[in-house]
Amino acid sequence: MSRIPLISGNWKMNLNHFEAIQMVQKLSYELRNHDYDAVEVSVHPPYTDLRSIQTLIDADRMHFHLGAQNCHAESSGAFTGEVSPAMLQKLEVGFVIVGHSERRSLSGETNEIVAAKAKSVFAHGMVPIVCVGETLEERESGGAESVVETQVTGSLADLSKDQLSELVIAYEPVWAIGTGKTASAEDAQLMCAHIRSVVTAIHKPAGTKVRIQYGGSVNASNAVELMSMEDIDGALVGGASLEAASFARIVSFQDA
Ligand code: PGA
């Protein structure tokens, strides 16, 4: 079963809409048509940039998927400051990151909240990228596998069998995010294989189809090795996605 790798750039709270346009133009310039033959690429700018990037992708027929970094679970209502999945769908967003560790730790997102968001993203015709990952403490105490397993089962609890197959999961060890410390390719593979086995236990065919990204200090130098691992189907890239040339090198990892 061949799964098409998905390389996603999570810009976090960086780049205003002018800078975002420049970034996507540079990225498009760095990549060649054949770079998109074997991978899918998504860019996840802040909300305020989405309309500008949607227009650019559309007008220049770029091959990127538009992504968002979060959304609310409800379609509309009295939720001051929130953005609904229906609004993202209208902007032709394809992928929505849910449950990023920064949102789990800074905004108190529980597995139940993440599960509701993932369900709602699917209900609005988009695909969630559900993030899971252990802290350093949890890894050092030997609890990483069970922590991640609980996050996976809890965060996917509301999805149908078909949705589980379409889903993207991002394994991002918290200690590797923004620190320059990447998990070794072997450790990342072990955890991604474990995640796949958890999905397989819920619905066997979904286990072979679900795409599992690795995230946490991915850069142009370590991407090739990480992506060569059997159960790693792409990358969720933070810091290195803010520089067009380095993100382009990650996207074209198969040429290395
Ligand atoms: P990083 O971030 O690549 O800067 O470590 C990854 C992420 O948080 O998605």
> What pLDDT digit, counting tens, does each position of 192-219 carry?
999 999 999 999 999 999 999 999 999 9
Within-domain flag for 107: yes
**3-class SS at 98?**
strand
Within-domain flag for 209: yes
Average pLDDT over residues 16-22: 98
Residues taking part in catalysis: 100, 172
Average pLDDT over residues 76-102: 98
The domain that holds 162 is classified in CATH as 3.20.20.70
User: pLDDT above 70 covers what percent of the chain?
Assistant: 100
Average pLDDT over residues 82-86: 98
Q: In a mutational test of the pocket of ligand 1, which residue from 97, 175, 237 has the highest number of ligand atoms less than 8 Å from its CB?
A: 237
User: pLDDT above 90 covers what percent of the chain?
Assistant: 95
pLDDT at position 71 over 80? yes
Residue 177 CB less than 6 A away from ligand 1:
yes
Residue 99 CB less than 6 A away from ligand 1:
no
Residue 236 CB less than 6 A away from ligand 1:
yes
Residue 36 structural domain: 6-255
For the CA of 131, the closest atom of ligand 1 is: 9
Q: Supply the pLDDT for residue 1.
A: 58
Q: Record the pTM.
A: 0.98
User: For residues 250 and 244, what is the distance between their CA atoms, to the nearest angstrom?
Assistant: 10
Give rounded-to-5 percent helix, strand, coil for the chain: 50, 15, 35
Within-domain flag for 1: no
Residue 125 CB less than 6 A away from ligand 1:
no
Average pLDDT over residues 59-83: 98
Within-domain flag for 247: yes
Within-domain flag for 51: yes
Domains in the chain, number: 1
